[in-house]
Amino acid sequence: MRALVQRVTEASVTVDGTCIGRCETGLLILICAMQGDTPADGEKLAAKIAKLRIFHDAAGKMNRSLLDIGGSALVVSQFTLAADTRSGNRPGFSAAARPDTGRALYEGFANALAALGPRVETGRFGADMAVALVNDGPVTIWLDTQT
């Protein structure tokens, strides 16, 4: 699975003019299931992200995790993280998991993260979504369970 994690002061996702998910201080997590991914990959990634020490401590160092600060997360599916741009100008997405598998892995990831304690809200798999965020730092980190 691939994830683009952004430390945020706020984030929201809107579908057809209606806000369907939001978070305050915490993480916006854009997630993509890749071919060959398993539920165990989602659980491993959720644990890694929940414990990722990217929030400031009292000394101003990035030394605290989402769990440490009691933050929340907004998880949004984004198959374009599978983009292959090695050839030509049009990205290919064939490395992404098939939609039925991708949906199950996306939902499994969000559930695994929520089971660890943070409040988790989600976007809508396969929908045309508008995502808004205030990136804090900015801090943006790429994670991939296949590398």
Residue 32, beta-bridge partner list: 2
Max intra-chain CA distance, the chain: 48
Identify the DSSP state of 82.
Answer: G
Task: Identify whether 79 is a catalytic site residue.
Answer: yes
What is the DSSP pairing of strand 2-15 with strand 18-23?
antiparallel
Q: Which residue has the tokens 């978070």?
A: 23
Of 9, 35, 80, 146, the catalytic one is 80
Catalytic pick from 6, 55, 79, 145? 79
Catalytic residue among 6, 78, 122, 145: 78
Q: What DSSP letter does each residue of 26-95 carry, written as one string?
A: EEEEEEE-BTT--HHHHHHHHHHHHH---EE-TTSSEEE-HHHHT-EEEEEE-GGGG-B-SSSSS-B-TT
Q: Which residues does the annotation mark as catalytic?
A: 78-80
